[in-house]
């Protein structure tokens, strides 16, 4: 790899060096790898290796905010070996992962080893003695007996969500490496032991077995570069997932089973039905809710939540979900959509919002009659991009069925497609930033072209209404449809 080093600021923390590093993807690679492009923070490990945390370069045209910068800096400020953070195996669900607990300021400050020995076996995510919920560090593990987990996908989703200025929130993500011997001893061995003999954790245990074996013999895992760096470290992606899992109101009933069936069930929810409606926005919202509530399970889950304001937000979020999942061949979206509650109110002609911790409006905003609404959180994106994954969004024709859309999203999609075709700045950024193989990159380009063609056809035929503007709807109660130039492909 070619490294371009810049001067280290005098204010850099003395316990680690922070380098601005451009890590260029190797042209000959056949699988995704840790060869990503961005600013790297370096940490020495007890085993003598130099671990890296990389804040990826920003996507041209992306809409990032101060919270993204702060989160990236926070994630890459974590030293796995200085006693400030404990590492516990994720022994729930189907995939392996490392939960990174902040011990600073608590009873276990500087005592990571003691915390790991006494608390990692506890159930649940939150653990006494740690500051809040943990950061998740997930790596790629794909075998015939494990679930699908592809670390690079979370990096791709984060930056593309900012490019499309998505209303569905995707958490900031960074790439992180670790001395594989240290990770094996502190995490994988414990994950293997804690998941053993538990029928509900059969796939989780199989994944820990695969990871533990691979860390002992990297050459025995194929493809090696999908899990290990060239110098033999294990790598993955760090992010801070938040939110509560939606029930059937957004994830669908899943009554038809995994795969195509549950993805078609997903399209029967109230907001998806509204997006499919030929009616103007207000009538479409009413139709979507009315038709969905004919299903008893959807009626129970959706109930009073499906107000017009909430429906407008959900419709906007589904535009983001279906487009991102189509482009990245997402295999495992259904059942993995979360939300965070927010208070929304209008003040001095502006729409305001803040996270909600209960159902009673805070005293300082109560006079503005705030609405409690759910905002979608997409933190589980690691079953996308890899060539072996099934593109259920495409297989079940989600994009073709949409009759309502966001004008800015449509315009950004066409801009992305044209840039990909001409080999422009976005083409070069995506090709060189995420560590994708040439085939994976070509799949992203092809899926983008297909999505652009489908939505362009809907626009030119007059079938798409560009009226999904959640903020405008919350401000005025309706939306004046946009009339974008359908453009050319």
State both tokens at 78. Answer: 């974590």
pLDDT digits (tens, 9 = 90+) for 214-226: 999 999 999 999 9
Q: Which residue has the tokens 């509560």?
A: 244
Tell me the C-alpha to C-alpha distance, in Å, between residue 146 and each of 91, 201, 398.
Answer: 14, 11, 28
Other beta carbons less than 10 A from residue 487's beta carbon = 16
Exposed, middle or buried: residue 367 (CB in 10 Å: 0-12, 13-18, 19+)?
Answer: exposed
Main-chain phi, psi angles of 99, to 5 degrees: -95, 125
pLDDT value of position 123: 74
Task: Determine which helix (DSSP H) or strand (DSSP E) holds 101, and give its type and residue range.
Answer: strand 98-102
Please check whether residue 412 is in contact with residue 163, taking contact to mean a CB–CB distance below 8 angstroms.
yes
Cα 176 from Cα 273, distance rounded (Å): 40
Q: What is the pLDDT of residue 23?
A: 34
pLDDT at 1 over 90: no
With a cut of 60, say whether residue 10 has pLDDT above it.
no
162 contact partners, CB below 8 Å, separation of at least 6: 58, 59, 62, 63, 64, 68, 170
Which H/E stretch holds residue 55? Answer: strand 50-56
* Segment 321-331 mean pLDDT: 98
The backbone torsions φ and ψ at residue 297, rounded to the nearest 5 degrees and listed phi first, read -70, -40
Distance CA 325, CA 28 (A): 27
pLDDT in tens, 448-461: 999 999 999 999 99
> What does the pLDDT read at residue 248?
98
pLDDT at position 30: 61
Joined tokens for residue 124: 């649940």
- Say how far apart CA 319 and CA 120 lie, in whole Å: 39
Give the pLDDT confidence score for residue 126 in this predicted structure.
Answer: 82
**Sequence-ordered list of residues with C-beta below 8 angstroms from that of 28, at least 6 positions apart, any chain:** none
Tell me the pLDDT tens digit for each residue of 87-112: 999 999 899 999 999 999 999 999 99
Reported pTM: 0.93
Task: Give the SS3 label for residue 153.
Answer: helix
* Contact by Cβ (8 Å): 276, 292: no
User: For 35-58, what is the mean pLDDT?
Assistant: 97
Question: Residue 122: which pLDDT band, with cuts at 50, 70 and 90?
Answer: confident
Q: Are residues 468 and 404 in contact, defined by beta-carbon separation less than 8 angstroms?
A: yes
Structure tokens at 12: 């850099």
Residue whose C-alpha is closest to residue 281's, from 308, 306, 305, 302: 308
User: Where are the domains positioned within the chain?
Assistant: 17-239, 245-476
Tokens 């700045």 locate to 425
pLDDT at 12 over 60: no
Residue 69: is its pLDDT beyond 70? yes
Q: What is the pLDDT of residue 22?
A: 33
pLDDT at 204: 95
Q: Which residue has the higher pLDDT, 345 or 18?
A: 345
Contact 25, 125 (CB under 8 A): no
Q: Please tell me the distance from the alpha carbon of residue 127 to that of residue 124, in angstroms, as a whole number.
A: 7
The arithmetic mean of pLDDT across residues 331-353, rounded, is: 97
Per the structure block, which two tokens stand in for 239?
Answer: 């992010």
**Dist. CA 323–CA 164, nearest whole Å:** 10
**Cα 81 from Cα 138, distance rounded (Å):** 18
| In contact, 6 and 20? CB cutoff 8 Å | yes
């Amino acid at each position: 790899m070619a490294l371009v080093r810049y001067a280290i600021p005098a204010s850099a923390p003395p316990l680690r060096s922070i380098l601005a590093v451009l890590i260029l993807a190797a042209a000959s690679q056949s699988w995704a790898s840790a060869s990503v492009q961005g600013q790297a923070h370096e940490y020495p490990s007890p085993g003598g290796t130099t671990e890296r945390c990389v804040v990826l370069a920003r996507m041209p045209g992306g809409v990032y905010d101060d919270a993204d910068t702060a989160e990236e800096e926070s994630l890459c400020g974590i030293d796995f070996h200085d006693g400030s953070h404990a590492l516990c195996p994720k022994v729930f669900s189907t995939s392996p992962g490392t939960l990174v607990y902040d011990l600073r300021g608590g009873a276990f400050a500087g005592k990571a080893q003691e915390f790991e020995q006494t608390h990692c076996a506890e159930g649940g995510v939150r653990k006494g003695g740690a500051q809040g919920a943990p950061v998740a560090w997930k790596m790629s593990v794909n075998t015939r007996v494990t679930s699908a987990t592809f670390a690079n996908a979370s990096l791709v989703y984060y930056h593309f969500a900012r490019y499309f200025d998505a209303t569905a929130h995707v958490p900031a993500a960074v790439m992180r490496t670790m001395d594989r011997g240290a990770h094996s001893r502190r995490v994988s061995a414990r994950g293997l032991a804690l998941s053993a003999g538990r029928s509900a954790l059969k796939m989780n245990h199989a994944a820990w077995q695969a990871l533990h074996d691979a860390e002992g013999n990297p050459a025995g895992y194929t493809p090696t570069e999908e899990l290990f760096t060239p110098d033999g470290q294990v790598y993955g992606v760090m992010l801070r997932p938040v939110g509560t899992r939606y029930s059937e109101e957004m994830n669908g009933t899943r009554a038809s089973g995994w795969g195509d069936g549950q993805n078609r069930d997903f399209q029967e929810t109230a907001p998806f039905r509204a997006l499919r409606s030929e009616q103007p926005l207000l009538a479409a919202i009413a139709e979507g809710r009315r038709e969905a509530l004919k299903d008893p399970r959807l009626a129970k889950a959706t109930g009073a939540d499906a107000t017009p304001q909430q429906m407008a937000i959900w419709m906007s979020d589904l535009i983001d979900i279906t487009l991102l999942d189509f482009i990245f061949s997402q295999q495992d979206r259904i059942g993995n959509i979360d939300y965070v509650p927010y208070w929304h109110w209008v003040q001095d002609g502006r729409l305001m919002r803040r996270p909600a911790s209960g159902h009673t409006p805070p005293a300082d905003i109560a006079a503005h009659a705030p609405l409690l609404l759910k905002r979608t959180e997409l933190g589980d994106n690691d079953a996308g991009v890899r060539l072996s994954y099934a593109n259920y969004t495409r297989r079940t024709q989600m994009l073709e069925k949409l009759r309502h859309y966001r004008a800015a999203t449509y315009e950004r999609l066409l801009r992305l497609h044209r840039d990909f075709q001409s080999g422009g700045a976005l083409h070069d950024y995506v090709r060189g930033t995420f560590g994708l193989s040439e085939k994976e990159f070509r799949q992203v380009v092809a899926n983008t072209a297909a999505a652009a063609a489908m939505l362009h056809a809907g626009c030119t035929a007059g079938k798409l209404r560009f009226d999904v503007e959640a903020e405008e709807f919350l401000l005025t109660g309706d939306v004046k449809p946009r009339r974008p130039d359908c453009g050319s492909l």
